[in-house]
Amino acid sequence: MKKLLLSSCLALMALISLSFINFKKTPKVLVFARTVKYHHASIPKGLAAIQQLGKEHHFDVDTTTDANLFTADNLKKYAAVVFLSTTGDVLNDEQQTAFEQYIRSGGGFVGVHAATDTEYDWPWYNQLVGAYFKSHPKQQEAVLHIVDHSHLSTKHLPAEWKRKDEWYNFKSIQPNLHILITIDEKSYTGGENGDLHPMAWYHDFDGGHAFYTELGHTDESYADPLYLQHLYGGIASVMKK
């Protein structure tokens, strides 16, 4: 009888454990791609690429250009929010407040390319994203230096990475950013940020976690395995646990 009771208890415990495993929530990522100013033609490629990364790495992806989704109740569903080449004033005051609350609760933020060409009149956002877009020369090939290989977004990259993209010059660069990638201004024309010209960085800010990569203007970026692993590493690094 005791053996039967023990066996029943063990079976019940196993069933409960299995239930917890089965009901463990898959992380969700919100990709926001609203543009009020310039609209990047590569956005559809970027959306599809992040959706594919989700399938490969087991997180769900919602994509939107609808700022009305920026409410406290909705944002708390997401492990990270990605601004994919957003431009201009994309959120109203109430939506900004909801997003600030999300970050302060430990939320994750990823900015891609033109995310720095966004919300110039919102100082909190400048601190979150890390810098604002100033200008760019024509698209051209340049040499990137990986200055930190320990991060998920860079550990797979060569020490020098030559690629073609649209290279931003920045203003209002925030202090205390952990720089991951810089660009060699001697390798192309039109650079204006000097020897330490950042191209990707991360930092903790206001209770949350933020990652930004300048790369990603071109369609070709979203078919480049090195870039896609870089982008995935950035997303994974900020996901709210």
Per-residue model confidence as pLDDT tens for the chain (241 residues): 444 444 444 444 443 343 333 346 899 999 999 999 999 999 999 999 999 999 999 999 999 999 999 999 999 999 999 999 999 999 999 999 999 999 999 999 999 999 999 999 999 999 999 999 999 999 999 999 999 999 999 999 999 999 999 999 999 999 999 999 999 999 999 999 999 999 999 999 999 999 999 999 999 999 999 999 999 999 999 998 7
26-238 adopts what CATH topology?
Rossmann fold (3.40.50)
Rounded to an integer, what distance in angstroms lies between the CA atom of residue 93 and that of residue 68? 12
Rounded to an integer, what distance in angstroms lies between the CA atom of residue 97 and that of residue 206? 13
Angle 190-185-213 from CA coordinates, rounded to 5°: 90
* Nearest in space to 168 (alpha carbons), one of 146, 145, 200: 200
Q: Which residue has the tokens 């020490």?
A: 159
Give whole-number Cα distances, 83 to 5, 22, 42, 47, in Å. 55, 31, 14, 11
Instruction: Classify residue 118 by its DSSP letter.
Output: B
Q: Are 213 and 107 in contact (CB under 8 A)?
A: no
Strand partners for 172 = none
Give the count of beta carbons closer than 10 Å to the beta carbon of residue 19.
10
Per-residue pLDDT at 240 = 81
Rounded to an integer, what distance in angstroms lies between the CA atom of residue 179 and that of residue 201? 4
Per-residue pLDDT at 23 = 43
Q: Can you tell me whether residue 213 is helix, strand or coil?
A: strand
Stated pTM of the model: 0.91
Q: What share of the chain is helix, strand, coil (3-state, %, to 5)?
A: 35, 25, 35
Per-residue pLDDT at 10 = 42
Q: Which residue has the tokens 């024509």?
A: 138
Residues 6+ apart with CB under 8 A from 190: 136, 137, 138, 140, 167, 169
Q: Can you tell me whether residue 62 is helix, strand or coil?
A: strand
Give the count of beta carbons closer than 10 Å to the beta carbon of residue 225.
8
What does the chain come to in residues?
A: 241
Number of DSSP helices (H) and strands (E) in the chain, helices first: 6, 11
